[in-house]
Amino acid sequence: MIIPTKKFLSILSLAFFISITGIYYKELYFFQFIFYLLLFIVSTIDFFTVVKKKKLRIRRVHDKYLSIGVNNQIKITIENLSERICFLLIRDEYPVNFKADNDTCSIKLNPYTYGTVVYHVKPILKGKYFFKNIFVRTRGFLGLVFRQYKIKYNTEISVYPNLIELKKFLTLVSNNREEQLGYKLRLSGGETEFDFLREYQPGDNYKKINWKATAKKRHPIIEIDKKEYNRNIIVLLDTGRMMTTKYGYLTKLDYAIDTSLILAAASLKKNDRFGVLSFSDKVNAFLPPSKSNRILTSILSTLYESVPSFTKSDYLSLYYFIKNKITKNSILFVFSELYNNIVSKDLIIILKLLARHHKVRLISFEEIEKESEGKKYQQIVRWTIQQSQLIERESIIRDLSYKGVNTIKVNAENIKTRVVNSYLSS
């Protein structure tokens, strides 16, 4: 396909001006003919300077898996096998429900060289997708015409939870630098029995400083207790209608799954056992607590296509399943949502029952409402009802705390750090 450039159209507009002037000055018809003839000849010459399709090698490069809700880098490498300078415009055909920035890229390649252009895509749903064709426009040396090629390059790709954040966390944890992402340093021990003394390090509990040893060594010395290992850390993911609310492009369930991956990585570093259970009107999937390094892979393969349904969650079935399958005292992170005493009646009852045998932490999104700026009756009534619901919700949270259920209030920005830090502090 041959496409004129802006430069060609600008020159052509000048020819139209000559044509209009020729209405009044007949002698300009000859110059008009010469002008069109020269433009045709020059454009034809320019066309033959365009690098041919067979002289281009194009390849799409990206990670094996993309992460939902964040920018993923896509690279397109181009090799110029011709003896001419190559001017290119490149546009990739990414999946329709991806958001992309700078998806039309330009590059200049000298003869027998190669280069790379980069753009980013943001998937908004998990699952399998296909990148299709790559469209390339090569410009002539004079810049008058483009020739467009369609490069067939179909590739399948899977969109997973936020692996980019997980990789950052694992990298920084290995260097004891997780505080750079807002996470607390992992505690070295529990609070039960003395084990040994060592020098104080940033992030240590200053209450554990041994003052006698500090005075003797003339620098801070801290007591380290024996660490409690092999605790069960289990995430309970509600995939029912409570988790369908969206914050931006992602649902509450998407944020919960991303947080579960970071929590799993943290539990592996603390030598605890980690498990996951997802449920709605029934128990959908259960990964028993394990401290195998393959637990992260198992979570991804089990949950990467999970989407919230509009069914009512059966909390009673969940309780009996946990009662039969999880006999050891565990720390349960429940990702669900509280609304009021009527809508959340079953959830409140089950949380109290679970707290009799386990340490229960409910993760609940904060619904912050701004005071109505309008003066209309309907706006004032709406804001008043919202405040009433907020007061009722706070009353439920206080009642749950008396029964041993700790509620962690989160939002889309801080859910990972607040949940993981509550675990690292335990």
Residue range 233-285, pLDDT digits in tens: 999 999 998 898 888 888 899 999 999 999 998 888 888 899 999 999 999 99
CATH of the domain at 78: 2.60.40.10
Shared domain check, 151 and 265: no
Closest CA to 151 of 243, 269, 56: 56
Give the three-state DSSP class for 217.
helix
**Domain around 208:** 198-225
Q: How confident is the model at residue 160 (pLDDT cuts 50, 70, 90)?
A: confident
Instruction: For residue 38, give every residue at least 6 positions away whose Cβ sits within 8 Å of its Cβ, in sequence order, or none.
Output: none
Q: Is the Cβ–Cβ distance between 253 and 235 less than 8 Å?
A: no
Give me the residue label for tokens 């280069």: 115
**What phi and psi values does residue 131 have, to the nearest 5 degrees?**
-85, 135
d(CA 345, CA 328) in angstroms, rounded, equals 26
pLDDT of residue 369: 53
Q: Average pLDDT in the 33-37 region?
A: 74
SS3 44: helix
Residue 177 lies in a domain: no
pLDDT at 189: 47
**Taking the mean position of all CA atoms in its chain, how far away is CA 127?**
14
Same domain (yes/no): 156, 209: no
Mean pLDDT of 1-30: 69
Reply yes or no on whether the pLDDT at 149 is more than 80.
yes
- Residue that is last in its domain, among 160, 188, 217: 160
- Cα 409 off chain centre by: 21
Is residue 143, in this structure, part of any structural domain at all? yes
pLDDT at position 40: 78
Verify that 295 and 362 share a domain, yes or no: yes
Residue 141 and residue 34 share a domain = yes
- Report residue 174: phi and psi, to 5°: -65, -20
Mean pLDDT of 74-93: 90
Domain count, the chain: 3
Note whether residue 405 is domain-resident: yes
Residue 203 lies in a domain: yes
Q: Residue 404 in contact with residue 334, Cβ under 8 Å?
A: no
What single-letter amino acid sits at 106? S
217/264 same-domain check: no
Only one residue has tokens 């252009």, namely 117
**Confidence (pTM):** 0.74
Q: What is the mean predicted confidence (pLDDT) over 136-145?
A: 82
Q: The domain that contains 399 carries what CATH number?
A: 3.40.50.410
Report yes or no on 74 lying in a domain.
yes
CA distance 319 to 353: 8
Do 248 and 144 fall within a single domain? no
pLDDT one-digit tens code per residue, 114-126: 899 999 999 988 8
Question: Are residues 286 and 220 part of one domain?
Answer: no
pLDDT band at 213 (very low <50, low <70, confident <90, very high): confident
pLDDT digits (tens, 9 = 90+) for 330-345: 899 999 988 888 888 8
**Whole-number pLDDT of residue 362:** 94
Q: How far apart are CA 168 and CA 164, in angstroms?
A: 6
In a domain, 215, yes or no: yes
Q: Which of 139, 160, 181 is the last residue of a domain?
A: 160
Tell whether 221 and 125 lie within a shared domain.
no
DSSP 53: G
46 and 10 together in one domain = yes
- Reading the block at residue 37, the tokens are 């003839």
Residue that finishes a domain, picked among 184, 207, 225: 225
Per-residue pLDDT at 184: 67
Question: What digits encode the pLDDT tens for the residues 186-209?
Answer: 554 444 555 567 787 766 777 778
Range with lowest mean pLDDT among 65-69, 300-304, 407-411: 300-304
The answer to whether position 168 is within a domain reads: no
Q: Which of 105, 104, 109 is closest to 117 using CA atoms?
A: 105
**Would the pLDDT of 370 be above 60?**
no
73 and 47, same structural domain? Answer: yes
Q: Which one is predicted more confidently, 22 or 391? A: 391
pLDDT reported for residue 24 = 62
Higher pLDDT, 175 or 394: 394
Asked whether residue 49 is domain-assigned, the answer is: yes
Distances (CA, A) of 211 to 93, 217, 222: 66, 10, 8
Degrees (nearest 5) of the Cα angle 67, 295, 276? 85
117, 8: one domain: yes
Q: Under the phi-then-psi rule, with left for phi > 0, alpha for psi from -120 to 50, and beta for the rest, what region is 336?
A: beta
Of 285, 303, 422, nearest in space to 359 by CA:
422
Is the distance from CB of 183 to CB of 168 less than 8 angstroms?
no
Residues 101 and 238 in one domain: no
Q: What is the pLDDT of residue 275?
A: 93
